[in-house]
Amino acid sequence: MDDATGAPAHATQPPPHPCASAPAEQRRRRRALAGPGIVLAATAAGVTLVSVVDPHEPGHYPTCPFLWATGLYCPGCGGMRMVNSLTHGRVWEAFGLNPMVFLLLPVFAYLWARWTACAAKGVPFASALVRPRVIYPFLGLIVVYWIVRNLPFAHALAP
């Protein structure tokens, strides 16, 4: 009995509103979506730069360090020219510049969308594609692609 009416103190306070934690929840979701947002912004900036500054012309970008040091193509060689070709609608040319990365673009898009959806729902990111039983064979595939694209008979895989 703490007030003038003789009612207990807890009886005079209104119950908490069901949406009282909404601002905290909104902040948490904004923080969770920051990662996918930053990745999207960086990707958009990179694609825009590569679209505008043509990597097909020498001197606009540094040479791939692995190509420069060894004379061999790395798994990513041709990737910037592939992006440039895609942004200009030359799909078949883009495929020829780096077929592996070209074929992985939908996988990357799916993983990003899944990450974003999980962040928006407030659940941890999970996908069968990022489990060891998928990742290790995928890394093996990258190594095989790296080797094969540098062999004389596989000139179609060279950028």
- Determine contact, residues 3/9, Cβ cutoff 8 Å: yes
CB contact set of 85 (below 8 Å; sequence gap of 6+): 91, 93, 94, 97
CB atoms within 10 A of CB 64: 18
- Determine contact, residues 102/95, Cβ cutoff 8 Å: yes
90 vs 51: CA distance, rounded Å:
12
What φ, ψ does residue 54 adopt, rounded to 5°?
-65, 115
104 vs 112: CA distance, rounded Å:
12
At 13, the pLDDT band (50, 70, 90 cuts) reads low
Question: pLDDT, tens digit, for every residue of 40-74?
Answer: 999 999 999 999 999 988 888 888 899 999 999 99
Residue type (1 letter), 45: A
CB contact set of 86 (below 8 Å; sequence gap of 6+): 94
Question: pLDDT, tens digit, for every residue of 135-149?
Answer: 999 999 999 999 999
Residue type (1 letter), 102: F
158 vs 151: CA distance, rounded Å:
9
- Determine contact, residues 74/150, Cβ cutoff 8 Å: no
Q: What is the pLDDT of residue 108?
A: 95
